[in-house]
A and B are shown apart, each in its own frame.
Chain A
């Protein structure tokens, strides 16, 4: 039997079953209020964001596959939950290409935008839990649009995690500050001299941007500071918050020997989430995608 024929058969069966259900239901409702001459059938239910597809295929943009998990519309809100999987490496923690901007279009032609922050890291790091990363996008102004009123859902903008490494120079005077290319400011707070060398402590003022390695970013350790050139023995960072959720709030560089040069070179590496356009329609269809 062809696909079209099966659809027709299904429609016919659906009509028969629904009609039968309505007849039985009306009969039951009428019998429940036999004395009411103005009896009406009133059905008041809450719209629930029912999963519309639980196992749909994904769509790809560069090395990332977006796999829709659940899509629901109700109470003026449309929510898509999805998984992100990277084709970049089997042991990656974060997909380096992630969606940021979304657009939902209704059958009436109305469009609405939504954005997503960087996806959160998984809470555990076992082999089976590192991938995929789960995230969601929420359209909170869909009004009375229902599932059937959604024409399409698309990612319109992406972010690409591009590792950046730069070397900067700053004075070794206590209190010296330096603003880095991305807006992060570092300040030399103290220099502690020890028999085996000197320890330089720096304070870091982050940028309040979810796509930056700030306090609100899940990529708290994406900023790394190291001494550049000879004489630096080690580097370590301090973090706000706990574990992976905290951003870098300071770092410490240790030099071998007592002498600290007037100008010090620092290597700064971080992930720059560069925005790139790229429209990718995400399936909002039925069980077959």
Chain B
């Protein structure tokens, strides 16, 4: 499997390896020659006296085809199907859990892939079984700790053999952001809203039912002006005549949040918790500022087909 130009893929420790010396045959020969003499001597000496312990360290003689990763003209490793010029995919694992079948898809990226603003590897998939049954995916799971592997979720077809996996639509992120200030009465309390954030291009994030307490806050959001949803992240600032009294940010496991874009998610509820370092008196509040980062899903039809007959489903 070592047959790809990895220098064309992401920067790796291989890039930093020192250049090979053309003198290795001589060096290896020196070692072999010395080893032969020393070995013969030790054998002779061992007949004369004991004990003798050797420390001769030998290296494997080199071959004309050095081990490692040779270079060729292939853009991606074998088995990986290009999705874009810089990303290729290959299904590699599968596990059935209760009502779900999750197919693990490995990705490789070439140099130039931008993990921040680039492709979010998700989308719509179709799984075909050996019996001819066709199953459409219901979602995907991406883990930020292992971005080179994500799972596509299907309804569990039971004990069947897998035949073909097809990606029929890829989802690209369309990041937007917006901010809006609204006047409020002294808090804690509820702000009915809506507070409307302009995300550009006619898309708005309408925030309603904003409940603000001393330690936590809740709000309801809905996207308008778009047929596709996505990922919505909101922070809330409580102010008194422009001075911050409290900052509320999303609760939960921020660092290891695991999710994939969901084009059907156009409304929801978000819980926020207050930053303990900013504990102003909410009774003096005059305004709130809602800030949002929204990633909309842009769907693009694709047709990638993978043979998955060799993948064993862990049950």
Contact = CB atoms under 8 A, between A and B. Distances in A.
Given A160-B93, A163-B150, A43 B52 contact: yes
Interface in B38-85: 38, 41, 45, 48-49, 51-64, 66-69, 77, 79
Nearest to A3: B25
Interface string A206-224: 0000000000000101101
B225 interface: no
A93 B148 contact: no
B95 A88 contact: no
Contacts of B64: 3
B314 interface: yes
Interface string A162-185: 111110100000000000010000
Interface string A61-73: 1110101000000
Contact of B69 (A59, A89, A94): A59
B37 interface: yes
B31 A14 contact: yes
Contacts of B67: 56-57, 59, 281, 283, 285, 289
Contact of A95 (B10, B31, B148): B148
A286 B100 contact: no
A264 interface: no
Given A11-B29, A14-B32, A62-B90, A56 B59 contact: no
Given A9-B26, A59-B69, A286-B24, A87 B33 contact: no
Binding site secondary structure of chain A: mixed
Given A17-B34, A148-B56, A162-B151, A94 B24 contact: no
Contacts of A93: 144-146
A10 B95 contact: no
Contacts of B92: 62, 97, 160, 276
Nearest to B64: A3
B64 to A, nearest CB: 7
Contacts of B57: 50, 52, 146-148
Contacts of A24: none
Interface stretch (B14-22, B178-186, B198-206, B239-247): B14-22
17 contacts: A8-B29, A10-B32, A11-B36, A14-B29, A18-B34, A41-B48, A60-B77, A88-B106, A89-B10, A94-B146, A97-B92, A132-B13, A146-B57, A164-B141, A196-B216, A274-B104, A286-B31
Top 8 nearest A-B pairs by Cβ distance? Answer: A88-B148, A10-B29, A57-B68, A14-B33, A233-B271, A283-B67, A40-B49, A234-B251
Interface of B: 1-2, 4, 6, 9-14, 17-18, 20-21, 23-38, 41, 45, 48-49, 51-64, 66-69, 77, 79, 90, 92-95, 97-98, 100, 102, 104, 106-109, 113, 115, 139, 141-151, 153, 211, 213, 216, 218, 250-253, 255-258, 269-273, 312, 314
